[in-house]
Structure 1
Amino acid sequence: MSAATLTAAPAAPTAKQADKIALENNKLHKRLCRLVGQAIGDFNMIEEGDKVMVCLSGGKDSYALLDILMTLRERAPIHFDIVAVNLDQKQPNFPADILPTYLSNLGVAFHIENQDTYSIVKRLIPEGKTTCSLCSRLRRGILYRVADELGATKIALGHHRDDILETFFLNMFFGGKLKSMPAKLQSDDGRHIVIRPMAYVKEADSERYAEVKGFPIIPCDLCGSQENLQRKQIKNLMREWDKKFPGRVDSIFSALSNVAPSHLLDRELFSFTDIKADGVANPLGDIAFDEEPCAMPATFPGTIPLQAV
C-alpha cells in the first residue's frame, strides 16, 4: 500500500449524507433556540428594553450563547439590545485580533476590556495551586464596572446545564452545601442582574454546535491549563454516569427544580418546630413506613418551590 493511500483524505459525503447532516445541524440549532428561549421565559431573564451584556471568553459556550441570543432577538416579541464584551486578561500568546475580527464580521456591538489580571494571578497564586477563585473575583469586579459603563441591564454568562450540575456536586462533596449555580441572580454588590440563558443546554450540544458553526475557539492558559481541578474530576464522574446509567444525570438536573424543604434538614428553610398533627391530609407528606421511599409516585405532585431564606 502506497504512502499516498495511507494519507488520502476521507471521501466527501454523498448528497444523501450531506442532506442528513444538514438536517441534524438544523435540529440542533432549533433545540438550542428552544432551550435558551425556555430558560429565558422560565426565569424572566430578558425584558423589554434590556441591554444584555454577553460575556465572551472565546470558549465554545459563550460563542454559542451570543449566536443563539442574536437569533432569538430577531424573533422575540420584545426589543432588547446586545453588546458582546471580552476581557483581555493579557495571557501570554493570546490572539488579540481573533475576537474583534469575528465580532466585526458578525455585525454586533462589542467592547474589548484590557486588564492584566494574568500577572496578578500568577504573582499571588503559588505554582500548582488553583487559580480559579482569584481569577473569577478579578473578572467579576471588572465586568460589573464595564456593565455600568456600557449601561447594561443584564449580564449574560455562557454556563450550561453541566456547569450547574458540576457546581452542585462541588458544593455538596467539598463545601457541605446544597447549592448550585443559579440561572438568574442579583450580583453581590446588589446593582446587577446576572443571567445564564444556557442553563438547560447540555454541554455535548454546545460542543457540537461549536463544531458546526466553526467558532474560533481561544484556549485559556490559566484555569483551562490545570488538569487536576476538582471540577474536572466531577465532570469525568458525570460523563461516566452518562455512559453507564443513561438518564441519571437528567434526573439529577430535574431534581434541582423539584425541591422539598420539608424532607431535608435545613431548619431555616422549613419550620420543623411548628409541625403539628392537625388531622388535615397532606398529599405531599411522607409515608413514614414506606419500604421504597425513593420510588416515583404514579402521579407527580408538581414542583415544590424552594422557599427564600
Structure 2
Amino acid sequence: MKHFRELLAKIKKADEMFNLIQNDDKIVIGISGGKDSIALFEALRTYKRYSKKKFTLYPVILDLGFVGFDASTYLSFFKERDYELIISDAQDVSKILHMQKEKQNLPKLPCSICARMKKAAINEVAKKIGANKVAFAHHIDDALETLFMNMISGGRIATFSPQMYLERAQITFIRPLILASEKLITRVQKDLNLPLLPANCPNEKKTRREDMKIMLNSIYKTYPEAKNNFELMLLNDREFSLWYHEYATLLADDHVIVKVTTPSQFNDVAYIRYHVFIDEQKIKYEDEYDPHEGDYTSLVLYVKGEKAATIRYKYDPQVRTAYLGRIAVLKEYRGQKLGMSLITYVEQLLTVKYRPLTFHIGGQSHLQKYYENLGYTRTGEPYYDADILHYHFTKKVN
C-alpha cells in the first residue's frame, strides 16, 4: 500500500495546487482499459472517502469500434465496488478514422482526430448524465511527452493543463494524476492487481508519443538528473526565459495573446482603446483612462502581427472576484470572435489558480445578449459610466 498512499498524496497535492475537485462535483472518469485510468478510478474512489469533499464519480468507457473491444470483464470489477461502468457506443470514431486514413493517404490512423473525437464523445456522455467535469488519467510523463511533441512537431512550447474549462461544452477537464509518474502508477496497478483490458488500438506502440517516450528514456539514462529537472520545469514559471517569453498563448498560427509589459505594448493598448472608446464612442479622454490603470493586467491580441483587440483584468482575493474590463476590438477585426477569445482566455487562466471564483464585467447595456451568450448573468442595478448605460454581468465558477 506504500505506492498507493504515495499516489493519493500526489492527487491531494494536485487538487490543492490546481483546484481540481470541489464539493458537489459530478465527475466522469474516462476509462480506457489501461493501467492509468483504472489506477485513477481506484485512487479517486479512495480519495473520495478520505477527503472532506463530497463528489460523485461516473466511470465511462468508450466503444470506439476497434476490433477486439470487450469490456465485459470490467463490469464485475466496478460492480464489486458499487459502481456501474457506463459503456458508451462511439463506434463511428473507428469508421471516420479509417475514412480519413484513406482520404489523406496516411500510413496509420490519425491520432489527433481520434483524440478530439474521443473528447467530444465523452463530453456527450457527461452532459447526458449531468456531470460538470471529466477526469482524464494523464500523468506527468504524458505532459513531458506532449511538451516535446509540440516543440519538435509544432514549433511551440506547450503541454496540456491540469484543468481546462470548455466554454461551449460547459465541461471542465481535470487531470488528477498530473503530478504522478508513470512508474508510480505502474507499481500501484501491480500492487493492487488492478485488471487491464487487452490493447485494441491499431496504432498501439506506433505513435509519435511512443517515439517521445523512447527518446526521453534515453535522455534519462544518459542524464539521470534530467527527469527531476524536466518535472520541475513544468512548475518553475519564475525561471522561464525565451525571446518571446511574454507571449501568453498562441491561439492559432496568426493569432497571439500578449501580456502587456513593454512601452510599445502599452502604446498598442492605448491605440486600440482610443479608436474604439474615444474616437468611435466619443468618450472623454479623462473618463477612458482612470487612476486605477496600474492595478490591472492588460492583454493585447495580435492578428498576423497587427494589434487587433485588448482586455484588462484584476483579481481581488478578498471577495474571490476577477474584474474584466476595457474589452475593445478594432473595427476592421470585428466578427472574428476576438473579444470572446480574450474573455475565455482570462477565465481559463484564472480558474486554474482560483476556485470558487466570480467573474465580473461592467458592460455597456447594448452588449447584454453578447455577455449572456458567454454565460454571464445581469445582476445589480444599472449605472452610467462616461454617460453610457452599463449593467453588471457576473459568472460564477465553482
- Which stretches in structure 2 are left out of the alignment for 5+ residues? 248-257, 266-345, 351-398
Shift of 1:56: 0.6
AA paired with 1:109? Answer: E
Distance 1:85 1:122, change over 3 A: same
TM-score, normalisation: structure 1: 0.76
Cα deviation 1:1-47 (Å, max 9, x = unaligned): xxxxxxxxxxxxxxxxxxxxxxxxx2101100000111011111100
User: Contact (CA 8 Å) 1:161, 1:199: kept in 2 or not?
Assistant: yes
Shift of 1:78: 1.7
User: Contact (CA 8 Å) 1:131, 1:223: kept in 2 or not?
Assistant: no
Q: Which residue of 2 aligns with 1:183?
A: 162
Cα RMSD of the aligned pairs, angstroms, is: 2.3
How do 1:83-232 residues align onto structure 2 when only pairs under 5 Å count? Answer: 83-116=58-91, 117-126=93-102, 128-187=107-166, 189-222=168-201, 224-227=203-206, 229-232=207-210
- The CA distance in 1 between the partners of 2:149 and 2:69, in whole Å, is 30
Q: Which residue of 1 aligns with 2:314?
A: none
Instruction: Give SS of 1:225's match.
Output: coil
AA paired with 1:68? Answer: A
Shift of 1:161: 0.6
Of 31, 35, 48 in structure 2, the residue corresponding to residue 60 of structure 1 is 35
- The CA distance in 2 between the partners of 1:89 and 1:60, in whole Å, is 18
Distance 1:156 1:123, change over 3 A: same
AA paired with 1:271? Answer: T
Bigger relative contact order, structure 1 or 2 (CA pairs below 8 A, ≥6 apart) = 1
Q: Which residue of 2 aligns with 1:3?
A: none
Shift of 1:211: 1.6
Instruction: Give SS of 2:196's match.
Output: coil
Of 28, 46, 53 in structure 2, the residue corresponding to residue 71 of structure 1 is 46
Shift of 1:223: 5.5
- The CA distance in 2 between the partners of 1:213 and 1:114, in whole Å, is 29
Shift of 1:257: 1.3
Q: Which residue of 1 aligns with 2:213?
A: 235
Shift of 1:224: 4.5
Shift of 1:254: 1.1
AA paired with 1:237? Answer: M
- The CA distance in 2 between the partners of 1:155 and 1:224, in whole Å, is 24
Distance 1:246 1:261, change over 3 A: closer
Q: Which residue of 2 aligns with 1:271?
A: 261
User: Contact (CA 8 Å) 1:184, 1:193: kept in 2 or not?
Assistant: yes
User: Contact (CA 8 Å) 1:131, 1:222: kept in 2 or not?
Assistant: no
User: Contact (CA 8 Å) 1:155, 1:194: kept in 2 or not?
Assistant: yes
TM-score, normalisation: structure 2: 0.59
Shift of 1:269: 3.6
User: Contact (CA 8 Å) 2:123, 2:169: kept in 1 or not?
Assistant: no
Instruction: Give SS of 1:86's match.
Output: strand
- Which stretches in structure 1 are left out of the alignment for 5+ residues? 1-25, 276-306
Distance 1:111 1:209, change over 3 A: same
Distance 1:237 1:269, change over 3 A: farther
Instruction: Give SS of 1:81's match.
Output: strand
AA paired with 1:246? Answer: P
User: Contact (CA 8 Å) 1:54, 1:83: kept in 2 or not?
Assistant: yes
How do 1:249-268 residues align onto structure 2 when only pairs under 5 Å count? Answer: 249-260=227-238, 263-264=241-242, 265=244, 266-267=246-247, 268=258
Q: Which residue of 1 aligns with 2:16?
A: 41
Distance 1:223 1:257, change over 3 A: farther
- The CA distance in 2 between the partners of 1:134 and 1:28, in whole Å, is 35
Task: Count residues in correspondence.
Answer: 253
Cα deviation 1:36-85 (Å, max 9, x = unaligned): 11101111110011111111111100000000001110001121111111
- The CA distance in 1 between the partners of 2:195 and 2:240, in whole Å, is 48
More displaced 10-residue stretch of structure 1: 124-133 or 60-69: 124-133
User: Taking every aligned residue pair, what percent have the same amino acid on both sides?
Assistant: 25
- The CA distance in 2 between the partners of 1:85 and 1:61, in whole Å, is 14
